[in-house]
Structures are given as structure tokens and as C-alpha cells.
A = this chain, B = another copy of it.
């Protein structure tokens, strides 16, 4: 992720300095002609923006190293509330949390791709009531948010403005819980070789992400445990309702309307841009409203007074 971002920002004409804990990765980046520092602190130097692209468990150490840095700091981890708290605790002065919905199975500088972010959803957190990091200057929080939004839309991302809490709830529902459902389904094969022989396409797709490294799934779900717990409670509730319908006098008739509703939601996904981009004022509440409606920012104007956004199509009646 870090290598891809380095390449994408350099390709867009920005001055970028990289650092990676792995000497081989640093060597490969230098050999490819990029500026590479010998420590995170040195890479940050007097930079206006520092993007920390490390896994969650490594983040505290890197933030410690950057303590007191006067510029804006952002991250790319999949949980935003805990990271926000962590940044405050580690003396970060200006922070906007980010989460690009992009990733590759491969890692290392040779796997980096400057076009990785084209069309990708990139959450940037925006807080409504004066952010913790900007207690006396709410406008500064929005200004920093707009700086990042301009940068990321420039390299092709669709920037979604949401609060950290809204982000953590939504990814629990549609990213973290699906990994737990896949695991529960895979567990049905335990001591059950006949089932393994009869399993086909619905099992294959429903369990695909269960093959992800257990440590990664555990860190993702356990790092967002409260929201994942709530989201899983809701799914278990919906499954229990489906289970009750199986006991109905006419289970087929009872199940059909619920399954039809689920099918409509799935067929309407992924959301599509609805018409032409619209103009939106650069105001916190308007941006958060856009995010809640499933919209995203596609461009930020030079004067930072307006953004372009799209609203997603949410017609759940489409068959």
C-alpha cells in the first residue's frame, strides 16, 4: 500500500520521500529512483503530509516516532475510532484518519502499483462537532480534510466523508462480519467429508474469505470488536427469523418475500453514480450527509470552497 501511494503521488507530480522498515523494500524503491529516508522520522522531515501505511499493531510505534510533527498525519488502517484515540494518545497534532478500500494479495515494493487507487473508495474521517485534534480551530480540521481529499481524488480515488464511528459501524456490517460468516460456514466441514464432497458454488463463494490468514481476520474483527459484535448480533437475529420461517406451515411461501427483499438489495449493489456529479459546498455537515447517502467526492476545487460529489443509486425496488 505504501509503495503504491508513493508511486501514485510521485506520478501526480508531488515531492514524496518514502521509508519502509524492510531494507530490501527501501533498496528496491531507491533502485527505482525514488527518494527514500533511513527512518520514519527522517522521511517525515518537514513534510506537509505524512501517510503512515503500516498495519494496526505497528501504528503506535510509528506514531511515537512522529510525535510532535507539525504537519498533517493520516493512516490507511481498517478501523478508525481506535486509531483516532491512539493518535491522540501518542501526541499527534493534526490527524485525519483514512481507509482506502484497495489491497493486493501480494506485498513488497515490486508489487506496488501507482494505479491501485483509480476508482477505489477511500474513506476520510470528518468529525462534526470540532475534532479532538483541532479543539480551537474547527476550520483547520476541514482544511486538512480537503487537502487529503484533493490529493486522493487526484490519484483517482472516490473519497467518502464519514465520522470514525460511522465508518467502523459500516465496515463491521459489510466487511468484518462477512469474514465471520465465511468462517462459520467453513466450520461445517469439520468431521463431515460427505459435505465436503457435495459442496459446490454456493459454498465456494460463501467461504472464500475464510482462507484469509487467521491473524489478519482476528486483528480486523478484534480491533473493531464492539461494532462487529453489534453487527453480528443483527445478522444472527436475521438468521433466527429465517430459521423460524422454516417451521412455518408453508415454509416456501413464508421464505419467499424475505428472500426477494434480500435479492433486490444484492442486485442493486454495487451502487452506481446517479447522473452527473453535483456541486456541494465545502461544509462539514453537507459532506457527512453525502457520505451517509452512499455518495463520494470525485474532485476538490482549487479554492477549496466546493467539492464535486455523486450520489449513489439506492433504488431497492429494482428487480
Check: A97 CB closer than 8 A to any chain B CB: no
Decide if A284 is an interface residue (CB 8 Å cutoff).
no
B188 and A200 within 8 A (CB):
no
Whether B211 contacts A263 by the Cβ 8 Å rule is yes
B187 touches A261 (CB 8 A): yes
Interface membership of A106, Cβ < 8 A: no
Across the interface, do A171 and B198 meet the contact criterion of CB distance under 8 Å?
A: yes
Shortest C-beta distance, A188 to chain B (Å), equals 5
CB pair A247–B235 under 8 Å, yes or no, is no
Partner among B170, B197, B219 whose Cβ is within 8 Å of the Cβ of A194 = B170
Whether a CB of chain B sits under 8 angstroms from the CB of A308 is no
* Shortest beta-carbon distance from A201 to chain B in Å: 7
Query: Which of A194, A222, A251 has the largest count of B CB atoms less than 10 A from its CB?
Result: A194
Cα-based distance from A261 to B162 in the complex (angstroms): 35
Decide: A293 near B243, CB < 8 A? Known: A206-B209, A211-B267, A235-B188.
Answer: no
Give the nearest-CB partner of A229 in chain B: B246
Q: How many residues of A contact B (CB 8 A)?
A: 103
A226 to B316, CA, bound (A): 31
What is the CA–CA distance of A243 and B257 in the complex, to the nearest angstrom? Answer: 28
Instruction: For A188, give its contact among B123, B174, B201, B260 (CB under 8 Å).
Output: B174
- Expressed in whole angstroms, the Cα–Cα distance for A238 and B192 within the complex equals 15
Decide if the interface of chain A is mainly helix, strand, loop or mixed: helix
Please, which residue of chain B has its CB at the minimum distance from the CB of A160? B197
Contacts of A160 in B (CB 8 A): 194, 197-198
**What sequence of 0s and 1s flags, for each residue 210-244 of chain A, a beta carbon within 8 Å of any chain B beta carbon?**
11111101110111011011011111101110110
**Contacting pair B170 A252 (CB below 8 A):** no
- Does chain B have a CB within 8 A of A286? no
Partner of A121, one of B175, B187, B198, B239: B198
Which A residues from 4 to 58 make CB contacts under 8 A with B? Answer: none
- Closest 8 CB pairs between A and B? A193-B294, A222-B252, A222-B251, A183-B262, A214-B260, A174-B199, A214-B259, A178-B202
30 contacts between A and B (CB under 8 A): A101-B198, A160-B194, A174-B195, A174-B198, A181-B239, A182-B206, A182-B266, A183-B262, A184-B239, A186-B262, A186-B263, A186-B265, A186-B269, A196-B271, A197-B271, A197-B294, A197-B295, A199-B269, A210-B265, A211-B263, A213-B263, A218-B251, A228-B246, A232-B243, A232-B246, A233-B243, A235-B239, A236-B236, A236-B243, A239-B239
Interface residue ranges, A against B (CB under 8 Å): 101, 121, 123, 160, 162, 166-167, 170-171, 173-175, 177-190, 192-215, 217-219, 221-223, 225-226, 228-229, 231-236, 238-240, 242-243, 246-247, 250-263, 265-271, 291-296, 312, 314, 316
